[in-house]
Chain A
Amino acid sequence: DIQMTQSPSSLSASAGDRVTILCRASQGIDNFLNWYQQRPGKAPRLLIFSAYTLQSGVPSRFSGSGSGTDFTLTINSLQPEDFATYYCQQSYGSPYTFGQGTKLEIK
């Protein structure tokens, strides 16, 4: 299985800040990388697919980059609704594994 490792596991920030979350794959996955946001008690929401393509309806303050094994999710100008847990997922090969999650908390 392809292992996905996110860092940090948790992150404190303030509204208006810019934050970056890292995701590393145990082998090269080209750009087959998705990012999801999950608020407490809710289903995950697709933010970005294919490493950098914004899903319809997702605000442009979210952006993704990377290819191969190293990827980043950047959120500019944090809004109150952005405080949630974020997961990366590789869509390169079955089983389609997720990272362990990064919890973004209010400082």
Chain B
Amino acid sequence: QLQLQESGPRLVKPSETLSLTCTVSGGSISTNNAFWGWIRQPPGKGLEWIGTIHYSGGTDYRPSLQSRVTLSVDTSRNQFSLTVNSVTAADTAVYFCARLSRVSTADYWGQGTLVIVS
């Protein structure tokens, strides 16, 4: 069974960089027909797609975040990562990593990790 687990600092200071890693187990990240992505959810609010990466390195970002977000993949560790630069309180959210089948359908999710900017 495929499992995803987010890891990284839970508290980030304003103007600094948020960095999270998603470790994939129970399957390979180097699968042609799977994409990997990040989705966030501010406390008490709805879901927001951040971006998607393929193991080959191809990326797709939410335009409103594109200038501050970078996704990367480490196939040797079966991990992919998210960095968000110049964070503000508005970046406070639960961050979920997910496997995306058919490019954009999140069929496996990590448990989520709350990151607070303060």
Contact = CB atoms under 8 A, between A and B. Distances in A.
B104 A46 contact: no
Contacts of A64: none
Interface in B85-118: 96, 101-107, 109-112
A96 B46 contact: no
Interface string A4-46: 0000000000000000000000000000001010000011111
Contact of A98 (B47, B63, B105): B47
A30 to B, nearest CB: 13
Main SS class of interface, A? loop
Contacts of A42: 111
Interface in A48-105: 49-50, 55, 87, 89, 91, 94-101
Nearest to A93: B104
Interface residues of A, number: 22
Contacts of A34: 105-106
Contacts, number: 55
Interface of B: 46-49, 52, 60, 62-64, 96, 101-107, 109-112
Contact of A101 (B46, B64, B107): B46
B60 A94 contact: yes
B46 A100 contact: yes
A55 B107 contact: yes
B105 A46 contact: yes
Contacts of A46: 105-107
A89 B106 CA distance: 10
